[in-house]
Chain A
Amino acid sequence: MSYKAIMKDGLWDQNIVFTQLLGMCPTMAVTTSGTNGLGMGLATTAVLVCSNAIIAAIRDFVSHQVRIPVFIVIIATLVTVVDMSLNAWMHGLYQVLGLYIALIVANCAVLGRAEAFAARQPVLASALDGLWMGLGFTFALTLIGLIRELLGTGTLFSQASLLLGPSFAFLEMTVLPNYGGVLMMVLPPAGFLVLGFLLAGKRLLDGRLAARAPAAPSAIAEGA
C-alpha cells in the first residue's frame, strides 16, 4: 500500500467520521466549538500515531486470540499517560481538554485502526496511517465544531489562544456581532443534524467525482 494511498484514505476516502462513522461519542460531545474539535482531534491523533506504531511493532508476537485485550490495554495506557502528562506539564491546555482526554479510550476508531491496519502492516506505514487518520478526524471535528459554533454563538475558534498559545489569538473571530445565539446548535441534537448534512454533502461530492472520472481519467489520476 503506497504512502499516498494511506494519506488519501485517512483524510477523505476512509475518513473516520465521514465514511467509517466511528468515534461518534467524541464527535457529538466535543464539537460545540471549533477549538474544542481541534483540540480533541489533535489529542486523538497523538494517541493514534503511538498506538498504531507500538501495535505494529509487536504484531508478530500477539496471538490472534488475545489481540483485542492486548490492543485495549496498550491504548488505555497511552491515553492515561497523555492525560497525566498534560495535567502535570501543560496545565492550561489540560483545563480546556481535560474532560475529553479520557474519552479517547472509548473512541472505537483507535481500536479500529489497530485491528484493521496496524495488526498487519509494518511500523512506518502504521504510524503514517495513524497520523493521516488522526488528521482526517481532526479535520472532521473542527469542521463540525466551526459550523455549530458559527450558528450557535456567532463566533469562530473562540478560546483558541488557550489551546494553541497567545500567538494564535488572531484565529478568534466574532463573525456575527450582537448575535443572540441559537441554543440548539450547542446542544447534542445539532451534532447529529450537522453531521447528517455533511455526510449528504460528501456523498453528493463523491458521486459527482465518480461520474466525471470515466470522462477525464487523466485529470483524476493527477488530482488523486
Chain B
Amino acid sequence: MSALAAMREKLSYQGISLGFIALATSAVLAMANMATHDGIVKAEREDLKTSLSQVLPVGYADNDLLTDTVRIAGADGSPVIVYRARKAGAINGVVFQMAQRGYAADVVVLIGVDTSGRMLGARVIKHSETPGLGDKIDIAKSKWILAFDGKSLGDPAPEKWGVKKDGGIFDQFAGATITPRAVAKAVKTGLDFYAAHKAEILEGKKS
C-alpha cells in the first residue's frame, strides 16, 4: 500500500483521479437517464391526463386530449397550450392553464370551458401559498374552487368577477385575500383568453 500512498501525494494523480470519478459518475448518470427517460415521460403524461380529466365532467371527451392541442399566444406573448376535448369528432370543450401571481409565487390554474365559454371546472395545479391560510384553493383542502363551475363572462357581471372584499361574488378566506383574488383573476383571464381566441382555438389545426 506504500506505493499507492506515495502516488496519492502526486499532483497529477489527484487531478487524474478526480477526472476519472467525474467521468464515471457522468457515465452512470447518462445510463440512468436513458433507463428512466421513457418511464418519466409516461408518468408525466399520466399526471397531465389525470389533471385534465378533473376539470371535465365524467364522459365529456372520448378522444386523447394530449394529442389534440393548439398553441396560441397568450396576453403576455408566451404560448398557451390548449387541449381540445371531442365527443364523436366534434369539439365540445377545451382545457388550458392560466397563471396569476399569488402571495408567494405564481398560482397555476387549470381551466375547462365548454364551446360557449361556460366554466366546466377549475383546479389549482401548482401553488406555494401559505399552508393553512391560502392553500384552501386546493381541492384537497377545501371545496372553494368549485364555486367557479358553471360561471361565464356574463355570469356574474364583469364587475362582480372577484372576491367579496373587492365587491365580487367569490368568498375570500380568513387571513388570506390575495390568494383567492389571484385564482379569480386567473379564471377571468382564462375566460377572456377563450373569448378572444375562440375561432383559432376551435378551428386551428392540431399542433
Contact assessment for A84 and B36 in the assembled complex, using a CB-CB cutoff below 8 Å: yes
Contact assessment for B25 and A77 in the assembled complex, using a CB-CB cutoff below 8 Å: yes
Say if the beta carbon of B133 comes within 8 Å of chain A.
yes
CB distance from A212 to the nearest CB of B (A): 43
Stretch at the interface among A9-17, A119-127, A179-187, A216-224: A179-187
* One of B1, B37, B47 near A60 (C-beta < 8 A): B1
One digit per residue, 1 when the CB lies within 8 angstroms of any chain B CB and 0 when it does not, for chain A 166-193 equals 0000000000000001010011000000
**Interface size band for A:** 20 to 34
Contact assessment for B28 and A84 in the assembled complex, using a CB-CB cutoff below 8 Å: no
- The complex places the Cα of A32 from the Cα of B43 at a distance, in Å, of 27
CB distance from B43 to the nearest CB of A (A): 4
User: Given A88-B36, A183-B133, is A60 in contact with B25 using a C-beta cutoff of 8 Å?
Assistant: no
Q: Which residues of B contact A63 (CB under 8 A)?
A: 8-9, 13-14, 17
* One of A64, A87, A183 near B39 (C-beta < 8 A): A87
Q: Which B119-149 residues have C-beta < 8 A from chain A?
A: 131-133
Nearest-CB residue, chain A, relative to B39: A88
One digit per residue, 1 when the CB lies within 8 angstroms of any chain B CB and 0 when it does not, for chain A 47-76 equals 000000000000011111110011001101
* One of A64, A66, A186 near B18 (C-beta < 8 A): A66
Contact assessment for A186 and B32 in the assembled complex, using a CB-CB cutoff below 8 Å: no
- The complex places the Cα of A130 from the Cα of B196 at a distance, in Å, of 59
Contact assessment for B32 and A80 in the assembled complex, using a CB-CB cutoff below 8 Å: yes
CB distance from A106 to the nearest CB of B (A): 18
**Interface size, chain B (Cβ < 8 Å):** 27
Contact assessment for B17 and A87 in the assembled complex, using a CB-CB cutoff below 8 Å: no
Say if the beta carbon of A213 comes within 8 Å of chain B.
no
Contact assessment for A87 and B43 in the assembled complex, using a CB-CB cutoff below 8 Å: yes
Q: Which residues of A contact B47 (CB under 8 A)?
A: 91, 95
Q: Which B30-75 residues have C-beta < 8 A from chain A?
A: 32-33, 35-40, 43, 46-47
The majority secondary structure among interface residues of chain A is: helix
Contact assessment for B18 and A87 in the assembled complex, using a CB-CB cutoff below 8 Å: no
- The complex places the Cα of A81 from the Cα of B40 at a distance, in Å, of 13
CB distance from B50 to the nearest CB of A (A): 10
User: Given A88-B43, A91-B46, is A73 in contact with B29 using a C-beta cutoff of 8 Å?
Assistant: no
Summed over the interface, the residue pairs from A and B with CB atoms below 8 Å come to a total of: 68
Contact assessment for B4 and A73 in the assembled complex, using a CB-CB cutoff below 8 Å: no
Say if the beta carbon of B105 comes within 8 Å of chain A.
no
Q: Which residues of B contact A80 (CB under 8 A)?
A: 29, 32
Nearest-CB residue, chain A, relative to B42: A88
- The complex places the Cα of A154 from the Cα of B143 at a distance, in Å, of 21
Say if the beta carbon of B104 comes within 8 Å of chain A.
no
One digit per residue, 1 when the CB lies within 8 angstroms of any chain B CB and 0 when it does not, for chain A 75-104 equals 011001100110111010011000000000
- The complex places the Cα of A89 from the Cα of B32 at a distance, in Å, of 12
Contact assessment for A85 and B32 in the assembled complex, using a CB-CB cutoff below 8 Å: yes
One digit per residue, 1 when the CB lies within 8 angstroms of any chain B CB and 0 when it does not, for chain A 21-41 equals 000000000001000000000
Contact assessment for B29 and A77 in the assembled complex, using a CB-CB cutoff below 8 Å: yes
CB distance from A71 to the nearest CB of B (A): 10
Contact assessment for A62 and B17 in the assembled complex, using a CB-CB cutoff below 8 Å: yes
Residues of A within 8 A of B (CB): 32, 60-66, 69-70, 73-74, 76-77, 80-81, 84-85, 87-89, 91, 94-95, 181, 183, 186-187
Known: A88-B37, A89-B36, A91-B43. 14 other contacts (CB 8 A): A60-B4, A70-B18, A74-B25, A76-B25, A77-B25, A81-B28, A81-B32, A84-B36, A87-B39, A87-B40, A87-B43, A88-B40, A88-B43, A183-B131
28 sample A-B contacts, Cβ–Cβ < 8 Å, listed by A number: A60-B4, A61-B8, A63-B13, A66-B18, A70-B18, A70-B21, A74-B21, A74-B25, A77-B25, A80-B32, A84-B33, A84-B36, A84-B40, A87-B36, A87-B39, A87-B43, A88-B35, A88-B36, A88-B38, A88-B39, A89-B39, A91-B46, A91-B47, A94-B43, A95-B47, A183-B132, A186-B132, A187-B131
